[in-house]
């Protein structure tokens, strides 16, 4: 199931990031994406169910890998 989500979400994010990076400096896009991913990860983590974690965490991880967005602590 996580795989299905990944198949849908990744291409969309790919196109979105590609488009954004042609207008905004890559560093800024990465920063914004890291902030967004942090928020989404917190959100999913706080829902009290583990189903969304199992489905979405690999997707977030894959996005971080693909676009070289380390999970920064700052
Ligand atoms: Ca959760």
Separation of CA 21 and ligand 1 centre (Å): 30
Q: Is 12 exposed, middle or buried (0-12, 13-18, 19+ CB in 10 A)?
A: exposed
Separation of CA 43 and ligand 1 centre (Å): 7
Confidence grade of residue 65 (pLDDT, cut at 50, 70, 90)? very high
Residue 74 clears pLDDT 60, i.e. is over it? no
* pLDDT at residue 73, rounded to an integer: 58
- For residues 27 and 58, what is the distance between their CA atoms, to the nearest angstrom? 23
Please tell me the pTM assigned to this model.
0.83
> Domain locations in the chain?
2-66
Q: Is 62 exposed, middle or buried (0-12, 13-18, 19+ CB in 10 A)?
A: middle
Q: Which residues surround ligand 1, an ion (CB under 5 A)?
A: 44, 47, 52-53
pLDDT in tens, 10-55: 999 999 999 999 999 999 999 999 999 999 999 999 999 999 999 9
Measured between its terminal Cα atoms, the distance across the chain in Å is 32
- For residues 48 and 14, what is the distance between their CA atoms, to the nearest angstrom? 29
Confidence grade of residue 2 (pLDDT, cut at 50, 70, 90)? low
């Amino acid at each position: 199931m996580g795989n299905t989500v990944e198949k849908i979400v990744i291409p969309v994010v790919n196109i979105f990031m590609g488009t954004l990076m042609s207008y905004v400096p890559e560093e800024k896009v990465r920063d914004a994406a890291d902030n967004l991913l942090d928020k989404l990860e917190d959100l999913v983590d706080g829902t009290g169910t583990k189903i969304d974690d199992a489905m979405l965490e690999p997707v977030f991880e894959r996005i971080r890998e693909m676009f070289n967005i380390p999970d920064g602590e700052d």
